[in-house]
Amino acid sequence: MSLPFEQQSNRPNIVFILTDDLGYADLSCYGSETIKTPNLDRLASEGIRFTNFHQSSAQCTPSRASILTGCYPQRVDLEGVLLPKHTKGLNPDETTVASCLKQSGYATALFGKWHLGHHLEHLPTHHGFDRFYGIPYSNNMFPRVVFSDLEIVEENFDQASLTRRFTDASIDWIEEQGDTPFFLNLWHPMPHMPLAASPEFQGTSNFGLYGDVVQELDHHVGRLLDYLEKSGKADNTLVIFSSDNGPWQPKSVPDPNEGGSAYPFRGHKANEFEGGLRVPCIARWPGKIPANACSDTFWTGMDFLQTLCQITNSTLPVDCQFDGFEASNILCGKGESPYDFFFYYHYNQLNGVRSGDWKLMLPMTNRDEHYFYYQTDEAEARKVIGDPEELSIPLSLFDLKNDPSETTNQIDAYPEIADRLLNAIETMRLDLGDARIDSLGSNRRSALSVEPIKQR
């Protein structure tokens, strides 16, 4: 019988692999028939696959902020996608999972895409990471630069080389740590558009360039797993794999084979239907997580901070408010969801709430035209349904247990459930606000804003 986490002297290494815009159904272990991912399938067969894991947001910056801070992105003032023109980023005063683990003796590193502020004051080495090698924001943003810690070391990088290079850097860094416990974050820029695959992977899938890119990602996940095995570290390493949000909107994809799939869920990146936030999540930890397990328990990216601190016996500050939970039992295939309510924001607009299997979505108008794309049907996923000027979504209640594709509005059949969820929304508006009523709430903390470099 294994010891409780706090009694273990041999604390686990942690490898956290995050992809960008990977859809729920884009891995063969999640149902893809056109993209082959044998290494991620192996990871799932040796560990646990989660079918009800969600990020806190359907967009890059806010979901990453939640992963690191354990909070809704609105609480840390990073509710929207940061662009090169923006001057704010993650505040160094925020507690992050990296800062907690570093304080408890872990070596910490992030390789790949950051996207929590690109000014020097915002970069990972100010947030608990000993080492950063990667790009400051999405691969479609300019200028295209690579940082090594706080220094730009490359401009106009080769997109097709990034997956391999960040994997190489990760393996080299692990090798350098010797017997020191480590927390490695490998946050791949792919399969965010523009897509790019190495020559040896081009044409290897049955789903065009997108499939080629995902199969290349899988290959390099396999390289990292093989290294852990050969180096003798695999048995004491927790490996987590996930995506920051769902796949691109169909209207943004010029070719059906250049975008991912959230099947069978409705929605996609940048909206709050299931396809935007429900993403693949796989974890392996020999001796702690049962092999070939599958869990449908609801949990989120906000839970990583407290969960990883628990399993590494790292100390959390007592005066910091978190929105996520300690979910080590769920990670290990046991326990129930800790959430009474989970709230869906788009930037600062509160769009819905979930409690158990019930999900309430607030009305949407034609200005929210990205809501009118569907992933529930292969043919419909690639086109706009009707004229957005004529479309609207009423107040809607969905039973996710029996209708995970969110096709049937149950608002008239269960008014008492809708009322309970509406009351929860009113309470949340007092806490974190809602742009619908021009409120920012009363419990938000500030991001760090800096002067643009040219003004210094």
CA atoms within 13 A on the CB side of 135: 27
On whether the CB atoms of residues 425 and 436 are closer than 8 A, the answer is no
On whether the CB atoms of residues 272 and 351 are closer than 8 A, the answer is yes
Q: Is 60 an active-site residue?
A: yes
Q: Is 192 an active-site residue?
A: no
Separation between Cα atoms, residue 412 and residue 397, nearest integer Å: 9
Q: Residue holding tokens 């839970």?
A: 303
Q: Residue holding tokens 């997108």?
A: 210
Of 351, 401, 13, give the one whose Cα is nearest residue 183: 13
Amino acid at 45: S
DSSP code at position 357: T
List 54, 115, 118, 220, catalytic entry: 115
Which pair of structure tokens corresponds to residue 282? 């796989």
Separation between Cα atoms, residue 354 and residue 24, nearest integer Å: 19
Separation between Cα atoms, residue 58 and residue 60, nearest integer Å: 7
List 60, 71, 281, 332, catalytic entry: 60
| H/E segment holding residue 358 | strand 358-361
On whether the CB atoms of residues 82 and 115 are closer than 8 A, the answer is yes
Which pair of structure tokens corresponds to residue 365? 């108008």
The residues, any chain, with a CB within 8 Å of residue 301's CB and separated by 6 or more, are 53, 54, 55, 56, 63, 66, 67, 242, 324
DSSP alpha helices (H): ranges in 231-291?
274-277
Q: Catalytic site residues?
A: 60, 115
